[in-house]
Chain A
């Protein structure tokens, strides 16, 4: 085959172009840290990474939401604990009223103590988290959720549960309704009001009846507290699982699309050498001509 300068230059340019494309690819990988920079670099990996990106983004959202949810449930739990303490205070006051050594003056003080407990409970019943009543269900009353009518009270909320998803498949109730906690008989505000009256009236039978009710209420709050605690635990477990899942997804994305830097550096060096050798050899070959030797 005759070799002409046009063949030499065409082959040189084609080879140089290919080598420079390798150099460019290796440089791209090194500067971006990614093996897949456009879809055609590896369509399967790009498609997979795209799906993973969607799942990972959803997980991130669940994680952010769950952080808020756990915080809300923590506040709910502490509110229930304070309610238990209030009920224990009321029980202590009732026990003192039943001691048999009370005077009219001390009973008045005890009754006043129960009134204070009732105010604390009312305050807890109207507790808010981020400006929203904790115990009003899905309703958002303009005034308080529980309005003291003394005697009795009015509940402005409803009995609706509120749910939230911890992840794609786990849904939990995020609230305790005022109806469940304060509204269902025996209603704590009514019990405290009756206890106050019984102490005022020095009626041991009525006091004992309300002590029994307080016991029932304490059990109710404690069991609701246990449920909320279990939900917090579930939330934290889910958070941990979601974070692990996202870590796994990141690793998978990295496996699919990230560059192997050692390999990229090696490719870069090889291509760099090849370009230099190619340029050097062409520079020498291009100078060779019979014309230079004819005199």
Chain B
């Protein structure tokens, strides 16, 4: 049977419940800009019922629990698309640097090739001219320096990307450790049956950060812990323990391979920055360097062979114009390093008379200079299908296309990721309008409870006053 004092208790419960709801609302509003925060709401329920003469009646309101709004499927999709986006972003950033190293126009490699062969054409006008001979050597040195520079820049990008792989692996290990720690904290916190919402939000953000580095996959165990794997099933986090990856330098170039325990997973990683870095380092850059080396080596061979058929101003047979490509260090295969080591024979640089412009030993003979100039028009590359200029243009086309494709993929991936992030925020994000309405609702309910307590108090006072006379 109810009493005025019991009614006071109902009012107290209402005050407490709505005060808690207001706290939840204020927490939501405070965290509106917190990355990964999932909005919470208080779940009200009627408190136990009491028997009255008229029947059962509730004894007020209580907050059953605080729930977070989250959609696990969307969160999973965000993680998946994050590693695809990060992979494309890493590739585009590196390719964008590479494409800017191979410009057309004055000072570019194409210009260097043209100027070199054109210089022989000019020399043919006056083959005994010391000035024109030095102009040929100057053009040759510029050409060699340009190729050295392009190869060195590609090497530097490759080296930089390689270091980034090591950095990314270290970061993965740190994040995996944090996720394992959070797993433990969540297990403990949720042991009492309440959801550790804040910890879960933090863990989800770290998983997202992990997925920007490698292709993580995860599932949630019954105790609330995440089990995270990379590269198609290699464990990274199991409950409260993490299995760190290691970046192991291999070969003379010190290229880092990624190992999970005793398994080399370098080529199994299919997403995240690391996958993009590995592809750039092991596929794109070696291909471009290979093209550059082949072009360089063909120029060296063609020019040296023809130069050897000529005679210099001293009447001797032409020596090597360019220094032959040295044998590369294993495991690289010839002509690796040709562009990097491209250089003009120092003997010619020291004595321009050694340029073999003729074929008869006579000073005014320009026959060999003409043939050397004509090499530019010969299709000597790619099985005799391309000239040097066409070969270089093919390299530009290849780099341009790869960059364009990476950019388009990145744009497409970014659009998908944005859409998924919007979907996630649609479920979990904080809306100020909603919170404002909740604020009013809970404020009004709190005011009503206060009024109710005041009314009961007045009634109690009336009774005391009536009996006190």
Contact = CB atoms under 8 A, between A and B. Distances in A.
Interface of A: 1-7, 10-11, 14, 38-44, 46-51, 53-55, 57-58, 61-62, 64-65, 68-69, 130, 132, 136-140, 158, 160, 162-165, 168, 171, 289-291, 294
Given A11-B422, A57-B115, A50 B121 contact: no
B285 to A, nearest CB: 16
28 contacts: A1-B423, A5-B431, A5-B432, A10-B425, A38-B96, A39-B403, A42-B400, A43-B398, A43-B401, A43-B403, A46-B104, A46-B396, A46-B397, A47-B397, A51-B389, A51-B390, A54-B393, A57-B114, A58-B376, A65-B125, A138-B358, A138-B365, A138-B366, A140-B364, A162-B364, A162-B365, A162-B366, A291-B436
Contacts of A62: 121
Nearest to A39: B400
B121 A165 contact: yes
Tell me the interface secondary structure of chain B in the complex. helix
Interface residues of B, number: 68
B367 A163 contact: yes
A6 B105 contact: no
Given A46-B397, A163-B370, A40 B407 contact: yes
A282 to B, nearest CB: 16
A140 B426 contact: no
Contacts of B404: 40, 43
Contacts of A164: 124-125, 366, 370
Interface string B344-378: 00000000000000101011111100100110110
Contacts of B117: 58
Contacts of B422: 7, 10-11
Contacts of B431: 2-5
Nearest to B399: A39
A105 to B, nearest CB: 47
B441 to A, nearest CB: 12
B392 A139 contact: no
Given A7-B425, A14-B414, A43-B398, 19 more contacts: A5-B429, A6-B32, A10-B425, A38-B403, A39-B102, A40-B401, A46-B397, A50-B110, A51-B390, A53-B114, A54-B114, A54-B392, A57-B115, A61-B122, A65-B122, A69-B125, A137-B364, A163-B366, A291-B436
Contacts of B376: 54, 58
Nearest to B364: A138
A47 B126 CA distance: 34
A294 B436 contact: yes
A289 B230 CA distance: 44
B160 to A, nearest CB: 20
A258 B426 CA distance: 45
A7 B426 contact: yes
Quick one: which of A130, A168, A290 has the most chain B CB within 10 A? A290
A46 B393 CA distance: 8
Contacts of B429: 2, 4-7
Nearest to A289: B432
Nearest to B411: A18
A289 B436 CA distance: 9
A61 B132 CA distance: 14
A54 B99 contact: no
Contacts of B374: 165, 168
A210 to B, nearest CB: 33
Nearest to A38: B99
B111 A53 contact: yes
B202 interface: no
A136 B364 contact: yes
A44 B397 contact: yes
Contacts of A171: 370
Interface in B26-77: 32-33
Contacts of A137: 362, 364
Contacts of A14: 414, 418
Contacts of B122: 61, 64-65
Given A5-B32, A165-B373, A290 B436 contact: yes
Interface string B142-174: 000000000000000000000000000000000
